[in-house]
Amino acid sequence: MTLATMSATTPAALSLINEECPLIDVRAPIEFAQGALPGAVNLPLMVDEERHQVGIAYKQQGQAAAIELGERLVSGALKQARIAAWKAYLAEHPDAVIYCFRGGLRSQIVQQWLEEAGISRPRLAGGWKAMRQALCERIDQAALQPMLVVAGLTGCAKTTLINQLHNGVDLEAYAHHKGSAFGRRPEEPATQIDFEHALAKRLIGLTEGLVIEDESRQIGSANIPLDFWRALQRAPRVRIEMPLDWRLAQIQQDYIIDLEQAYAVRFGAYQGWQLMQTQLNNALIRLGKRLGNARLQRLQRLQALAFNEHAHGNPQAHEAWLAPLLTEYYDPLYRYHLEKQRDTAPPEIHVGDWESCLAVARQWNR
């Protein structure tokens, strides 16, 4: 078969992402897992091993040999099965766009096979690479926009405040991580690429000021892009101050009750319960060097007792280890950083309770 030149392309415009255009990623699963475009479904032309073999042929013998090998590997019933998968998806998403890495050979082959099956769909010009470049450029542009940072001690519901705002940017949601040693979620953490793409998607429609939670550069497995993070460090901030009992109630909800439910939904009640306990115990262990051995062992004993009470219907028992974790570790650490940065820190335009900080954030940049 001679590969025809296909002219039906669509530009790698951010409007496709903003409007949630259905996307068919025909790259191999290993490529998709490393980072896809937002909203894409992986329906590969070749699976990982097939791609590997074709790649070797391309390097050693050139494009023609690689195409010939690909046609042999993906032929007959296997070819028909893959065409059927694309057709089934297009039956439900008739406006979908096809893409591969650079918008070249693989998406062109898929496009031609679909044409032969009576279906015409465009491929993304420049493919994944061109759209990724556009998404990364949007993050760089956002670093030049006005920003307001929401700061405060652990448990001050900063993320909740961010999500009350039309211009709030929830970095933790894009990282699939709550941003502390205890912030791991049941789902897999986002790859760096997927984190950046989710952030860029959120930024597409936000052309004015951005309100963002105070974060370290690393959130779970992802790093905030450097220019964007530097802009956060310079931005003015509001700081939430709430009493310990209020903060404990927030932490109980986020890190105990909601976490238990999330694990149960993903893994079932019994396995989810076991995995949740393991996660929270491992989080304490990860802080072991900073806590010191004696404090770690005390908190582990209190945590074990709390889980026993929790199993008998008393999740409030977790306050026994969460309270000292806040007052003896997280709060002093936060105040130390505040003091250390006192002369160089960006201005605080407001310090107050949660409601007053929400009101200030709503009025900011209007």
Alpha helices in the chain (DSSP H): 14-18, 29-34, 48-61, 63-73, 76-92, 105-116, 127-142, 158-162, 171-175, 192-204, 226-234, 244-252, 258-267, 269-286, 288-291, 293-311, 319-325, 331-340, 354-363
- For residue 209, give both structure tokens: 């000021």
Task: Check: CB of residue 113 under 8 Å from CB of residue 178.
Answer: no
Task: Check: CB of residue 360 under 8 Å from CB of residue 349.
Answer: yes
Rounded Cα gap, residues 174 and 191, in angstroms:
10
What phi and psi, each to the nearest 5 degrees, are found at residue 150?
-100, 115
State the DSSP string of 166-218: TTEE-HHHHHTB-SSTT-B-SSPPPPHHHHHHHHHHHHHT--S-EEEE---SE
Q: Which residues are CB-contacts of 19 (< 8 A; sequence separation ≥ 6)?
A: none
Name the residues annotated as catalytic.
Answer: 100
Q: Which residues are CB-contacts of 332 (< 8 A; sequence separation ≥ 6)?
A: none
Task: Check: CB of residue 10 under 8 Å from CB of residue 103.
Answer: no
Rounded Cα gap, residues 286 and 231, in angstroms:
30
CA distances from 8 to 97, 120, 258 (A): 10, 8, 47
Tell me the β-bridge partners of 219.
222
